[in-house]
Amino acid sequence: MKQPDYTSAIAQALNIATDGTEFGDKLNHIIRTTAETLGGGASLIMLDSTRTRLIHSSSFRLPKYYLQKGPLDREKSLDELNSNRTVVINDIRSDSRIQFRELAERALITAIAGVPVRIKGRAIGSLRIYYKASRTFSSADITFIEQIARIISLLFLSEIEPAPPSQNHPVAGALHHVQAPDFAHPSEAEFAGLLDFYNIEWVYEPRSFVLEKAGNRVTEMFSPDFYLPALDLYIELTTLKQSLITYKNRKIRRLRELYPEIKITLLNKNNYDRLLAKYGSGPLGQSRAHGIRQVLYTQEQIKGRVDELAREISADYANKCPVLLGVQRGFICFMADLIRQISVPMDMDFMALSHYTGKPGKGVKITKDTDLELEGRHVLLVEDIVDTGMTLSYILNHLKGRHPSSLEVCTLLDRQARRLVDVDIRYIGFNIPDEFVVGYGLDYQEEYRNLPFIGVPVILSDTSPLVKETQ
Ligand code: IMP
Ligand code: MG
């Protein structure tokens, strides 16, 4: 089957979105263009103000009786809204997720794709594509549908801001989801700011899990603070005392037993403050390192490991003339030592990124991009340390757009314990414990980069008992 011309369909949708027609006409027109391009039916369904039902707002090529079946029950429908991710069913007949199955069969719908329409991370509805025959959606199809869903999100956004439509406007029901959530604690707002900085989409408390029931009555529930749809990961921030963390841990253990498919990470206050301190934010932002309490890797150990990595890289990249790409500034010692042990021809380049400052509205930016042309090259990204993975995943996405022949990562240190974003790392120097480290290029608030070894600093306002004893 010939691939539809998605580029001109997107251009057309953008034209419609920005021309002078009425909001409702724009929606109808975009839905129609989408359906025609894909050669199927299309519908935009919106969550009502209770967020429990879905209403067909605009549709094209769907039989009347299918539309007239009334609102869909969110819980029984496709689960793209609960999961906040694209859901594809190539053949309905072998799937149990569809509500009104008989109706779907009468309307001769066999394949469906549902893409959430999101504003600031929160789903307000879904764009659904329907086919009479079974169909395997290609990744190009899905990308196209997702792009259209984004254009629709922008349409809604432009409708809402700056002048909110009146209460009886057809979209008013969807609007109350758009305001920033009421965070239960300032640290949650700060964390949301950090995620925003790295362009990581998040949803606040989207879902409650039942942990305990007495008969039909729910006796214990748990609502994790954040959900990151792109990573399919829940995050629970806890600012509680250590004794209460034990209680939280129990809840999380229970959640994992009952819902083994759910990925959840607990960030406690200490970890979290240290995460922010890395950027000079949060309560430890002004703290100072005062000496070193432990040496993790001596000069010799580092040299031994760097030589091994260089040998591996030389073997893997023989005849490839890789570009070793360093991310400023922590990589400096590592890169300098590594390249001197690499025995095959190579090039080198650098990038720099802006740092999180805690000020709202600013996203991560590349402050220095590469000078070399990377298209068709074998790029090896050289990092000092991968912690949450947020920096790395941002850079990797950026570099993928430059079409290198291959793209791999080499990091001196890997701290798995604090990983939030999954990233593939080809070469790892050392797996380190959950401790902040300095030296050999790594800093604490710009200090200690020039130590020849890697060690754990004493951080003065740190509340962990271990550090207190040494003060
Ligand atoms: P991520 O985005 O959380 O993975 O953070 C990666 C960056 O944070 C690294 O490239 C470092 O610049 C910095 N970083 C993370 N952990 C440490 C540490 O223990 N010492 C010094 N810098 C760190
Ligand atoms: Mg770095």
- Look at ligand 1, atom 22, and give the residue with the nearest C-alpha: 442
List the one residue out of 59, 40, 51, 58 whose CA is nearest residue 77.
51
Say if ligand 1 is within 6 A of residue 442 CB: yes
For residue 272, report the phi and psi dihedrals to the nearest 5 degrees. Answer: -70, -40
pLDDT in single tens digits along all 471 residues of the chain:
678 899 999 999 999 988 877 888 889 999 999 999 999 999 998 887 677 777 778 888 887 777 777 777 777 777 888 888 999 988 887 777 666 566 577 677 888 999 999 988 888 899 999 998 888 999 999 999 999 999 999 888 877 654 444 444 444 444 434 456 778 777 888 888 888 888 788 888 888 888 988 887 888 888 898 988 877 889 988 866 666 777 788 888 999 999 988 889 888 777 777 777 777 777 666 677 778 988 999 999 999 999 999 999 999 999 999 999 999 889 999 999 999 999 999 999 999 998 777 776 667 889 999 999 999 999 999 999 999 898 898 899 899 999 999 999 999 999 988 888 889 999 999 999 888 899 999 998 888 999 999 999 887 654 444 333 332
Which ligand lies nearest to the CA atom of residue 437 in the structure?
1
Which ligand 1 atom sits nearest the alpha carbon of residue 415?
A: 16
**3 state DSSP class of 306:** helix
Distance 54 CA to ligand 1 centre (A): 43
Distance 336 CA to ligand 1 centre (A): 19
**3 state DSSP class of 303:** helix
Which ligand 1 atom sits nearest the alpha carbon of residue 442?
A: 21
Say if ligand 1 is within 6 A of residue 274 CB: no
Say if ligand 1 is within 6 A of residue 389 CB: yes
Torsion of CA 20, 24, 25, 29, to 10 degrees: 110
Distance 468 CA to ligand 2 centre (A): 28
Whole-number Å distance between alpha carbons of 146 and 144: 5
Beta pairing partners, 323: 347, 379
Environment of ion ligand 2 (residues, CB < 5 A): 327, 330, 384
Which of 225, 387, 443, 462 does the annotation list as catalytic?
387
Whole-number Å distance between alpha carbons of 304 and 311: 11
Which residue bears the tokens 């240290």?
274
Length of the chain equals 471
Q: With contact defined as beta carbons under 8 Å apart, do 367 and 341 qualify?
A: no
List the one residue out of 386, 311, 379 whose CA is nearest residue 348.
379
Taking the CB of residue 106, how many other CB atoms lie within 10 A of it? 12
| Residue 91 designated active-site | no
Which ligand 1 atom sits nearest the alpha carbon of residue 443?
A: 21
Among 194, 195, 332, 384, name the best residue to mutate to test ligand 1's pocket (greatest count of ligand atoms within 8 A of Cβ).
384
Distances (CA, A) of 449 to 309, 385, 453: 22, 13, 10
Q: With contact defined as beta carbons under 8 Å apart, do 47 and 176 qualify?
A: no
Which ligand lies nearest to the CA atom of residue 390 in the structure?
1
Whole-number Å distance between alpha carbons of 201 and 192: 9
Q: What is the DSSP string of 151-196?
A: HHHHHHHHHHSSSPPPTTSTTHHHHTTTSPP--SSHHHHHHHHHHH
pLDDT of res. 215: 82
Whole-number Å distance between alpha carbons of 386 and 423: 9
Q: With contact defined as beta carbons under 8 Å apart, do 107 and 115 qualify?
A: no
Say if ligand 1 is within 6 A of residue 383 CB: yes
Whole-number Å distance between alpha carbons of 416 and 400: 23
Say if ligand 1 is within 6 A of residue 387 CB: yes
Residue type at 359?
A: K
Distance 146 CA to ligand 1 centre (A): 33
Residue type at 30?
A: I
Distance 107 CA to ligand 2 centre (A): 55
List the one residue out of 153, 30, 146, 33 whose CA is nearest residue 88.
146
- Look at ligand 1, atom 10, and give the residue with the nearest C-alpha: 385
Q: With contact defined as beta carbons under 8 Å apart, do 163 and 131 qualify?
A: no
Which residue bears the tokens 């950026």?
398
